[in-house]
């Protein structure tokens, strides 16, 4: 009964939801959210290595909003869980770690693929973790 209520609640929460069309799951496109539109996305990436023990689960929770019709920003909460055996360790003991980080993404659209024939935007993402700082700038060009 409890599971049925949870599933019903989850289904009802999704009724008024909208999402932008993303043609490719792992490729950014030049389109941006309209002003005031918000999205929540979850990403789960599993990595497994079979010849030696290694498993990784990366979870990203994204809160995205359109600031104007050409500018959008996102905040990610990232959780990385890893479990592996060190190849140099003869005991075969598993090493487990969990790391948290935050990311901030900005996208500024210059042209639209439908109106202008070619879409273009500047994309930048910065990630902060306790032992690293990563900056990922891109120029995106796409066509409808």
Rg from Cα positions in the chain: 19
Distance (Å, whole) CA 116 – CA 64? 25
Condensed to tens digits (0 to 9), the pLDDT of residues 74-104 reads 999 999 999 988 766 667 778 898 999 999 9
Distance (Å, whole) CA 29 – CA 31? 6
Edge to edge, the sheet with strand 132-142 lists 38-49, 54-66, 71-85, 94-111, 119-129, 132-142
Q: What is the pTM of this model?
A: 0.71
Q: How many contiguous H segments (helices) and E segments (strands) does the chain have?
A: 1, 6
| Structure tokens given for 102 | 């935050």
Closest CA to 58 of 39, 43, 48: 43
Tell me the pLDDT of the chain averaged across its residues. 85
Residue labelled with tokens 């990922």: 136
Condensed to tens digits (0 to 9), the pLDDT of residues 24-54 reads 555 778 899 999 999 999 989 998 886 778 8
């Amino acid at each position: 009964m409890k599971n049925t209520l949870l599933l019903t609640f989850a289904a009802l929460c999704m009724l008024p939801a909208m999402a932008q069309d993303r043609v490719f799951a792992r490729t950014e496109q030049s389109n941006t959210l309209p002003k005031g539109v918000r999205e929540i996305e979850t990403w789960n990436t599993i990595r497994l290595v079979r010849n030696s023990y290694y498993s990784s689960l990366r979870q990203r929770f994204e809160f995205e909003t359109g600031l104007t019709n050409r500018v959008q920003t996102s905040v990610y909460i990232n959780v990385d869980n890893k479990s592996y055996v060190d190849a140099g360790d003869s005991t075969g003991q598993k090493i487990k770690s969990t790391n948290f980080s935050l990311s901030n993404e900005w996208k500024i659209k210059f042209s639209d693929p439908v109106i202008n024939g070619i879409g273009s935007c500047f994309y930048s993402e910065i990630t902060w973790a306790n032992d690293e700082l990563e900056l990922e700038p891109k120029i995106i060009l796409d066509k409808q």
